[in-house]
Amino acid sequence: MSADTALPARRPDEPASPPAPRLDRAAIEEVLASGRRLLVQGAMGINASDGLSGKVAAVRTRRLLGVGTISAVLKTPAMLAAEIRRAKREAPGGFVGVNLMAAIHKQDFEALARTAFAEGASFLVQGAGISREIVKWCRAAGIPFVGIVSSGRLAAMYEKWGAEWLVAEGAEAGGHIGDIGHPLLQLLDEVKAATSLPVVAAGGIEAHDLPTVFAHGAAGAQLATRFLASRDGDVHPNFKDMHLRRGNPDVTLITSCVKGMKARAVKNAFTDALAAGKHFPPRSKTWFFGPEGYMGRTKDCIECLGDGLCLCRESDFQESFCITDALLEAAVHGDVERGLFYTGQSVTGIEETDVGRLPTVAEIFEDFERAIGGTAVEGPGARAADLDIAARFL
Ligand SMILES: Cc1cc2nc3c(=O)[nH]c(=O)nc-3n(C[C@H](O)[C@H](O)[C@H](O)COP(=O)(O)O)c2cc1C
């Protein structure tokens, strides 16, 4: 890592907080031995999962242990540090990880990894792209590395590199999809056969699917879409509303500017325009990042992605679209016409219809617990005892 990447200054009124407990292979084995599975909240880029990670990491039920994941996408180091500290405050002794995408600008990748390490994340999980360097950095920092995989081959490679656990993400997932030909249960069996690491299943999982993915040997389940439609979470209310009352015709696959990967989104005027071949070059980002730009970059294209990975930049802005503009319009402005609203296939199973009457994260967990035959979320006394499970890993 470059030595000149400055870490964010801690505000004088903000005391240093202890690191979150490490979520490594041994910790997961201990959780499983206690009769629980992991229920991981998948990271969602820009601010779509902000405000959720601490709420999820604070929940313990008889059968499930909540794990939060913070997205580092389009955060400055100061923004990422603030979100990690917030989650740790909301879930003392809980597991709070950070998701870092290897496809982002290399300078940002390094700065954000350093921040996750310095702030004591429980783990670092890598999506969209592969970087071996980060596995080495994690080992040096003593932070468990987690890989998101879409094949058994990649799972075996990550195990060799030193990953502590894996997320097998099937084609039903939201946002960028590793392999659209690989549905979750098929992938899960393939990954389980290729590695001895604990595997968390992700992609299109609804509460009633939990017994099935656990029966296929998953150490836990990762869900993101269900948590979007929650009373908790900072994302724009229109983003939450776009996740209500949706059937199969409302869900579409687009070709993302990120390496031309397929991505799942709620169908709207923006995805229709993309399908019709319209392109959307970047506009000024000062409306969000201010006159200083993003990480000191002030051009319309803030080069959010690494060299050679953005179809928009590679085509000299003549093709594709600016993903930063489109995601900011959705998650921050809540513009239902111009925004890109990533979603998972499970959006069609969300039963609530009114954005003013969404369940809290804790209430969503009650549904999960009931679906696996447990009782409701335990009371405050029992919860304190359960917190010891996480605290022991400090
Ligand atoms: C709006 C949205 C944004 C996402 N952003 C990211 C991301 O930045 N990095 C990542 O690794 N996965 C991202 N994902 C994938 C989720 O973390 C999750 O693994 C996947 O959607 C499977 O869960 P689900 O089917 O319940 O949505 C995103 C998903 C959604 C719906």
CB 1, CB 28: distance < 8 Å: no
User: Which residue CA neighbors atom 21 of ligand 1 most closely?
Assistant: 174
* pLDDT band per the 50, 70, 90 thresholds, residue 10: very low
Tokens (6 digits) for 18: 């202890």
CA distance 118 to 105: 20
- Expressed in angstroms, the distance from the first to the final Cα of the chain is 26
| pLDDT at res. 129 | 75
CB 68, CB 55: distance < 8 Å: yes
Give kind and range of the element (H or E) at residue 71: strand 64-71
> CA angle, 232 as apex, 230 and 235 as ends, to 5°?
85
- Average confidence score pLDDT of the chain: 91
Tokens (6 digits) for 133: 């360097």
Looking up tokens 């242990």 gives: 65
Model-level pTM?
0.92
Distance 9 CA to ligand 1 centre (A): 30
CA distance 283 to 326: 10
Mean pLDDT in residue range 165-178: 96
Domains recognised in the chain with CATH numbers: 25-234+357-391 (3.20.20.70), 237-347 (no CATH)
Which SS3 state, helix, strand or coil, does residue 105 take? coil
Beta bridge partners of 262: 177, 255
User: Over 90: is that where the pLDDT of 118 sits?
Assistant: yes
Mean pLDDT in residue range 332-344: 97
Distance 185 CA to ligand 1 centre (A): 18
Q: Which residues line ligand 1 (CB under 6 A)?
A: 42-45, 48, 71, 73, 99, 101, 127, 148, 169, 172-175, 202-205, 222-226, 342-344, 346
CB atoms within 10 A of CB 351: 9
| pLDDT at res. 391 | 42
65 class by beta-carbon count within 10 Å (0-12 exposed, 13-18 middle, 19+ buried): buried
**Which of 394, 55, 98, 110 is CA-nearest to residue 232?**
55
User: Over 90: is that where the pLDDT of 380 sits?
Assistant: no
CA distance 180 to 155: 17
Tokens (6 digits) for 287: 């409306």
The residue type at 127: G
Which residue of 53, 109, 225 sits with most ligand 1 atoms within 8 Å of its CB, as the best mutation to test the pocket?
225
**How do residues 124-169 score in pLDDT, each as one tens digit?**
999 877 888 999 999 999 999 999 999 999 999 999 999 999 999 9
**Which of 149, 18, 25, 194 is CA-nearest to residue 94?**
18
| pLDDT at res. 4 | 35
User: Which residue CA neighbors atom 1 of ligand 1 most closely?
Assistant: 342
Which residue of 71, 108, 146 sits with most ligand 1 atoms within 8 Å of its CB, as the best mutation to test the pocket?
71
The residue type at 164: E
Beta bridge partners of 149: 168
Distance 384 CA to ligand 1 centre (A): 30
User: Which residue CA neighbors atom 2 of ligand 1 most closely?
Assistant: 44
* pLDDT band per the 50, 70, 90 thresholds, residue 374: low
Mean pLDDT in residue range 20-37: 96
Mean pLDDT in residue range 287-309: 92
| pLDDT at res. 46 | 87
Who has greater pLDDT, 389 or 147? 147
CB 252, CB 234: distance < 8 Å: no
User: Which residue CA neighbors atom 8 of ligand 1 most closely?
Assistant: 45
User: Which residue CA neighbors atom 26 of ligand 1 most closely?
Assistant: 223
Distance 44 CA to ligand 1 centre (A): 5
| pLDDT at res. 67 | 98
User: Over 50: is that where the pLDDT of 176 sits?
Assistant: yes
260 class by beta-carbon count within 10 Å (0-12 exposed, 13-18 middle, 19+ buried): exposed
* Range from 6-15, 203-212, 252-261 carrying the lowest mean pLDDT: 6-15
pLDDT over 70, % of the chain: 90
CA distance 104 to 218: 29
Q: Quick one: which atom of ligand 1 is closest to the CA of 48? A: 1
| pLDDT at res. 16 | 61
User: Which residue CA neighbors atom 29 of ligand 1 most closely?
Assistant: 174
39 class by beta-carbon count within 10 Å (0-12 exposed, 13-18 middle, 19+ buried): buried
What is the 3-class SS of 6-43, one letter each residue? CCCCCCCCCCCCCCCCCCCHHHHHHHHHCCCEEEEECC
Looking up tokens 């979603």 gives: 343
Q: Quick one: which atom of ligand 1 is closest to the CA of 148? A: 11
| pLDDT at res. 48 | 94
> CA angle, 86 as apex, 380 and 234 as ends, to 5°?
95
Looking up tokens 């489109």 gives: 326
